[in-house]
Amino acid sequence: MSKKSNVLLIYTGGTIGMIKDFETGALKAFNFDDLLKHVPELKLLEHKIDTISFEKPMDSSNMNPTHFTLIAEIIEENYKKYDGFVVLHGSDTMAYSASALSFMLENLSKPVILTGSQLPIGDLRTDAKENLITATQLAGLKRNGEMVIKEVGLYFEYKLYRGNRSSKVNSEHFRAFESPNYPPLVISGINLKVNYPLLKKTNTKKELIVHKNLIDDILILKLFPGINEQVIKQVLAIKTLKGVILETYGTGNASNEDWFINILEETIKRGVHIVNITQCSGGGVSMGKYETSTRLKKIGVISGKDLTTEAATTKMMYLLSQNLLPKVFKTIFETSLRGEME
């Protein structure tokens, strides 16, 4: 069987698609149809590479669920024509897009690898070329005629992470991302070291289902010592609110004062789903371990376990669109759907 793969590069925007005008020093987007001229090394991969771009490449700070859906639709439309996909994306919200796509692309049996860079592709010290070349190699990687990666991944600085386990942790180092609660799927050195037992197992006989309707009437509420009753009451009283990601301390702890618990309980009774995740960069929530989280568990707060903020947020958007009863919503949210939690 041929090792050659057909890979589609999807350019959404971001630093990786910029080149520097050496006369003015300004960054400008280049025509991705001319990609091979800028990165001739891609020819060494022996894959057939095609490109497609957003009509208007965008800064990832402007990314929203409409754009998640646009990326998912491009993948859906081209799913049978290509063996793998690389999504070139600004790094700031890349982990959100990777997490969202993992939930939107049900029964995914091909690689969807997101990557970007800290420096533009035309910069002398750029990280763009390595990230792009290896991400493309991984998107076309086969073993015994089958695609090796069958999930949404995020590749940056020599490591492929599970997309919905990744977070951006540094704004200026080349090692911008980490996966605090799950080891890298692939480490790129002289050779590609694939951690096969960690890869998501997928039933390749099932048809791809693309979920395009995400509900974004949600908010992230980060607790801090001194957050007051009036602020929380006002925020949670928003009439259109459907979900809250509650970032608590340590293993899921929060104030156990009556006013705080009562506001949360009233909000849950209104039909708003509240998910408890930790503010810590690693580890997860274990409600009931300490007295300060026991009352949260009792009133029906959902455990986000070891979810990242990005995964919790996009999983909430995805599940809200399913019109589930509260108990069913809680059960499913606390269940790993795409390898996003333990």
- pLDDT for res 43: 80
Neighbours of 261 (CB within 10 A): 17
pLDDT at 22: 67
> What is the number of alpha carbons within 13 Å of residue 312 lying toward its C-beta?
29
Between the alpha carbon of residue 272 and those of residues 128, 303, 316, 325, the distances in Å are 42, 15, 11, 11
The CA–CA distances, whole Å, from 162 to 149, 183, 190, 206 equal 10, 9, 21, 21
Taking alpha carbons only, the member of 273, 298, 283, 339 closest to residue 103 is: 339
Q: Which residues contact 25 (CB under 8 A, 6 or more apart)?
A: none
Q: Does residue 1 have a pLDDT over 60? A: no
Do the Cβ atoms of 298 and 267 come closer than 8 Å? no
Q: How far apart (Å, rounded) are the C-alpha atoms in residues 94 and 60?
A: 7
Percent over 90 (pLDDT), the chain: 78
Architecture of domain 218-333: 3-Layer(aba) Sandwich (3.40)
Look up residue 138 and give its amino acid.
Answer: L
Which segments within the chain are labelled E, that is strand?
6-11, 18-20, 27-29, 48-53, 84-88, 105-106, 112-115, 142-143, 146-147, 152-156, 159-162, 167-168, 177-178, 186-188, 192-194, 209-210, 218-222, 243-248, 273-278, 302-303
Candidate from 37-51, 95-109, 155-169, 223-237 with smallest mean pLDDT: 37-51
Amino acid at 299: I
Q: Quick one: pLDDT band at residue 38, thresholds 50, 70, 90?
A: confident
Task: Check if the beta carbon of residue 194 is closer than 8 Å to that of residue 183.
Answer: no
**Would you say residue 31 has pLDDT above 80?**
no
d(CA 164, CA 278): 16
User: Domain 6-210 has what CATH class?
Assistant: alpha beta
pLDDT (tens digit, 9 = 90+) per residue, 183-205?
999 999 999 999 999 999 988 78
In this predicted structure, the answer to whether residue 84 has a pLDDT above a threshold of 70 is yes
* pLDDT band (50, 70, 90) for residue 288: confident
- Gyration radius from the chain CA atoms: 21
Residues that are catalytic: 15
Does residue 137 surpass a pLDDT of 80?
Answer: yes
Domain coordinates in residue numbering, the chain: 6-210, 218-333
- Widest Cα–Cα separation across the chain: 66
Task: Calculate mean pLDDT across residues 149-153.
Answer: 98
Fold equal for 6-210 and 218-333: yes
Residue 58 — very low, low, confident or very high, per pLDDT cuts 50/70/90? confident
Does residue 34 register a pLDDT over 80?
no
What average pLDDT does this structure show over 54-75? 94
Would the pLDDT of 256 be above 90? yes
Show the tokens assigned to 261: 């618990």
Return the closest-CA partner of residue 97 out of 122, 74, 121, 131.
74
C-alpha to C-alpha distances, 70 to 55, 212, 222, nearest whole angstrom: 11, 9, 30
